[in-house]
Amino acid sequence: MSDDNKLDQGGAPRQQTTDRDSTMTTAQGGPIADDQNSLKAGPRGPVLLEDHVMREKIFHFDHERIPERVVHARGYGIHGHFELTEAIPELSCADIFQRVGEKTPTFTRFSTVAGNKGSFDLARDVRGFATKFYTQEGNWDLVGNNIPIFFIQDAIKFPDLVHAVKPAPDRAFPQAQSAHDNFWDFISLSPEAVHMTVWQMSDRAIPRSFRFMEGFGVHTFRLINAEGESHYVKFHWKPRQGLQSVVWNEAVKINGADPDFHRRDMWDAIDAGDFPQWDLGIQVFDDAFADAFEFDILDATKIIPEEQVPVRLIGTLTLDANVDNFFAETEQVAFCTQNIVRGIDHTNDPLLQGRNFSYLDTQIKRLGGPNFTHIPINAPKCPVNHFQQDGHMAMHNPKGRANYEPNSWGEDGGPRENPEIGFASYPDQVQGTKQRVRSESFADHYSQARQFWISQTQTEQRHIAAGYTFELSKCEHAHIRLRMLSHLMNVHDDLAQAVAKGLGVTKMPEAAKPARAPITDLPASDALSILKNGPDSFAGRKLGIYVSDGADADLVAALEKAFTAQGALVAIVAPHITGAELSDGNLKPADQKIDGGPSVLFDAVALVFSEAEGERLAKDKPSKDFVSDAFAHAKFIGWTGAAQPLIKAAGVEAMDEGMIKLTADTVADFIGLCGKLRHWPREAALQA
C-alpha cells in the first residue's frame, strides 16, 4: 500500500495501492478506484443514480443496526474455556461433565438489565452472566445473573416488571435506573419482589468489575445420569478473584468519569493476560430435601442457603480472549435457556418455562430469521446434521436428495435418530387441573429477605438502607415510599427504621399484610455477604499513583514494582498528560491527566509530590476532589510529606489507619493494607 501524500482536488489524502489483495472492493467484490467522491454529472452537478459504489455503501450503512435486546441490551462478551476438575457421571451423563481435564470452549456475556445499549456501566442494576458452552454434544447455555434470585415468580409478570423499570413511555426517562416512581410502584404492589430488592439495594448491584462478582443459574434444574436418575441442581459461579463492589457515591461518579468502566476493565485485564476465573459450583439435592425445605424449590425468588446444601466445585471457567469484533460476536450472540444438553433438564419453575419460550422468540426478531445458528458465534462446534433448510440467510442447507425422514435412501438418506446419546427429557409425572393459579408454596415473601439482611456486615447493612433511601427519595409520590416501607417492616425492623429515618418519615405506616407469616429465625449465611468473601490480596486491582514534577522517582518505582509483582495494575496520574519530570530528571509519562483520572477509577491511591508542587496542588480543585473522594470512599491512601497540604485542603481533618506515610520501608505495609480493599471503619466514623 502506498500512503504517499497525494491529495485529491478537495485536499483529502488518497491512500492507494497496486496490490490486489489489499484493494478495496464493493460487497460484490468489484475493485474500487475512488471511495471519496460520488459519481456526478460535472464537478458541481447532480449525483447520478447509477453510482452503484455509493449506493451500495450507504445502503449497507443504513442497515447496520439490529434491534437491541429488550433487556440486557448493554453487555460485554469474552471467549474462554471451561475445564472440568471433577467428573460427575453418577449425577449427569452430560458429555461436558465426564472427563477431568477436558476443556470446552465458551463465550460469556456480562450485561446490565435495564439500560439501553449506550447506557453507563455503573447503573444500580442486576448483572447478566450468560455462558454458552460449545460442548461435543451441542451448545449448553447457562443464562444467569449475578444475583441468585429474581423479582418475580411467574414469567407472565415479566413484561410488566421490565416496563416498570425502563423509561416511562410518555417522557422516555429515566434511563438505566430503578430510582423512580414506576419501578417502586410496581415493586411495592408485588410482594414477591421484596426479597430481590434487598439484594438489588445491596452492593451486589454495583460491582467493581465483572471479574469480581458471582454468577448464578437462579432456577432449579435437573441433572440426569445414564440410568435416567434425576437430582435437582442449582448452578453457581464463584470468582477466584474474590468479591468486590464500589460504593454508591463512587458509582455515580464513575458513570461520569468512565461510562465504560466495566468493559474497559475486562478488556484491559484480558489484554494484559490477567485472565479471570470462576469455579462452577453445583448444589445438588433430592426430592426428600425438596419436600423438607422451608420453601418451594421451583420458586425463583428463593435461594437454597449454602449452609443447607454445600456448593461442590466441579470445574473452572477461564476467560482469556477478547472478541475480534464486537458486533459479530457480542451483539449477535444468541443465548437461549432452552439450549440444554443430554444430562441436564428443566424443572417446572414457571419463570424458567416462560423463558424457554422467550429466548428463541427474541432471537428471531433480533437476528432476522431462523438461521441464527449459522452465525459463527452461535454455531455449535460439534457435528450438526438435520433436515432444516432455507429461510433468511441460509448458509448450510442439507446436501443431496434427502431433506425429510423417514426415507428409504439408505446411506444417502442423511442423519438418523440415536436413542443412545439423543436428548431425553426426565419422565416427570405430571397431573393437574388446568387453572391460572400461584401455588400456595410460593406465598412466603419476607423470610429470606430477612435472612439476607441479617447475614450482612454492618457496613453492608448501612449501604442497603442507604440504597433504599436514595431510590425511594427519587419517588415523587409519598404513597409509593410508604407502601414500600410497609413491606420493609416485614423484613427487619432495623432496616425499616433506618429507611424511615433516611426518608424523614416520622409516623410509620402499617406493615403490609403478609400472604404467609414470615419465618423469623432463619440463621445468617456468611455466603451472602460480599465483605466476608473478599480477596486476600490486591491482585487484579488498580493503584492510582498521583505524581507531581520533582516527585521521588525511587519511591514511584518501588510502588510500581511491588504492586505489579502482586498482580495489581498501576496507573500514573499527573497534572499533565505528558507526565511529570521526577526527581531523577526523567519524564514519567502519565496514563491520566488529573481531571480525567479521578480517584474513583482506582481501588487505592498514592500521592507522591515534591515540596514545591505539593503547595501548588493543594489549591487545585481536581486534586482536592481526588483526595476527598478517595477518603470518603474509604480507600487506602499512601502519602508523602509534601502531600499534607493537599490532604488538609481536601477536608481530611485527621489521618486515620487507612492512610499510610510512604517511604521505601512502608511500601510493603501499604500493599498489605490495600489487600483489605477499603478502610470501612472510616466510613462508619464519617457517618456517625
Residues at the contact surface with ligand HDE, assessed by CB under 6 A: 69-72, 75, 109, 111, 128, 130, 143-145, 150, 155, 158, 218, 300, 333, 335, 351, 354-355, 358-359, 362
Q: In the complex with ligand HDE, which residue's Cβ is closer, 69 or 195?
A: 69
Annotation says 463 is catalytic: no
Q: In the complex with ligand HDE, which residue's Cβ is closer, 109 or 635?
A: 109
Q: How far is the CB of 147 from ligand HDE (least distance, A)?
A: 8
The one-letter amino acid code at 324 reads D
Annotation says 72 is catalytic: yes
Q: In the complex with ligand HDE, which residue's Cβ is closer, 130 or 243?
A: 130
Q: In the complex with ligand HDE, which residue's Cβ is closer, 80 or 128?
A: 128
Q: How far is the CB of 480 from ligand HDE (least distance, A)?
A: 24
- SS3 for 266? helix
Q: In the complex with ligand HDE, which residue's Cβ is closer, 111 or 347?
A: 111
Facing residues of 132 across strands? 107, 141
Q: In the complex with ligand HDE, which residue's Cβ is closer, 300 or 527?
A: 300
Q: How far is the CB of 138 from ligand HDE (least distance, A)?
A: 18
Q: Which residue is nearest to ligand HDE (CB)?
A: 128
Relative to beta strand 230-239, strand 215-216 is antiparallel
Q: How far is the CB of 141 from ligand HDE (least distance, A)?
A: 9
Closest C-alpha among 61, 14, 63 to residue 37: 14
Q: How far is the CB of 236 from ligand HDE (least distance, A)?
A: 12
Torsions phi, psi for 496 (to 5 deg): -60, -45
Q: In the complex with ligand HDE, which residue's Cβ is closer, 130 or 570?
A: 130
Could you say which of 37, 60, 63, 72 is catalytic? 72
Half-sphere exposure of 220 (CA within 13 A, CB side): 25
Could you say which of 139, 145, 378, 490 is catalytic? 145
Q: Could you give the angle at the alpha carbon of 586 between the alpha carbons of 584 and 587, nearest 5°?
A: 140
Q: Could you give the angle at the alpha carbon of 321 between the alpha carbons of 374 and 252, nearest 5°?
A: 105
Return the residue matching grid coordinates 454445600.
310
Q: How far is the CB of 292 from ligand HDE (least distance, A)?
A: 25
Q: Could you give the angle at the alpha carbon of 422 between the alpha carbons of 419 and 425, nearest 5°?
A: 100
Q: Where is 584: in which H helix or E strand?
A: none
Q: In the complex with ligand HDE, which residue's Cβ is closer, 358 or 666?
A: 358
Closest C-alpha among 611, 603, 653 to residue 628: 653
Closest C-alpha among 534, 529, 541, 547 to residue 592: 547
Return the residue matching grid coordinates 397431573.
431
Q: How far is the CB of 557 from ligand HDE (least distance, A)?
A: 42
Q: How far is the CB of 235 from ligand HDE (least distance, A)?
A: 10
DSSP type of residue 1: -
For the chain, percent helix, then strand, then coil, each to nearest 5?
Answer: 35, 15, 50
Half-sphere exposure of 399 (CA within 13 A, CB side): 3
Closest C-alpha among 178, 487, 514, 219 to residue 356: 219
Q: Could you give the angle at the alpha carbon of 225 between the alpha carbons of 359 and 306, nearest 5°?
A: 70
What is the length of the chain?
688
Radius of gyration of the CA atoms of the chain, in A = 29
Which positions are catalytic? 72, 145
